[in-house]
Amino acid sequence: MSQHGRRMLVCILWMAVGLMLIWRGLPYAGFRADPAITALHGNQRWIALLAGLVLGLGKGFTMLRKGARRAAAQIVSQGEQAPFWTILSPFMILLIAIMIGAGLALRLAPYDPGVKAWIVGILYPGIGVALIIGGWLALSVDPLPARR
């Protein structure tokens, strides 16, 4: 698979996960009905949405810009033609596993449902927005310079 094809794959992967996180966070923020979830109501919904958007924009244009550059460097280091699974370094695979575990813990841990609604209702959409931005940036950023 070409470098451009692998960058496109990173873009699609990050955007798909971002959309999934936004979708999973909307019931907690009170924007999608789910009888099993305690949701935010009234002005709390809009405060959580705004906080998630600010978090996502900040993280997307700072941390995930660097992550996109790191992903581009990983792709370039593998050469012009490489298998599609080379888009993720072992470090990224470990980081993804840790983030999945942390996300599950946030949703499944037994703590106050109101607090859970605030945490998940802000973090999931915020990280989702950041991943969508990062996926878009993965197509166009310059790779990080090689370490010496």
Q: Tens of pLDDT along 62-104?
A: 998 888 888 888 888 888 888 888 888 888 899 999 999 999 9
Q: Is the pLDDT at 57 greater than 80, yes or no?
A: yes
Amino acid at 21: L
What is the DSSP code string of 67-96? HHHHHHHHHHHT-SS--GGGGS-HHHHHHH
Q: Is the pLDDT at 148 greater than 70, yes or no?
A: no
pTM here? Answer: 0.88
Question: In whole angstroms, what is the distance from residue 86 CA to residue 22 CA?
Answer: 27
What is the distance of C-alpha 108 from the center of its chain? 19
In a 10 Å sphere around its CB, with 0-12 CB exposed, 13-18 middle and 19+ buried, how is residue 68 labelled? buried
Longest CA–CA separation in the chain, Å:
54
**Cβ pair 85, 1 in contact under 8 A:** no
Residue 81 is predicted with a pLDDT of 85
Residue 110 is predicted with a pLDDT of 94
**Cβ pair 106, 28 in contact under 8 A:** no
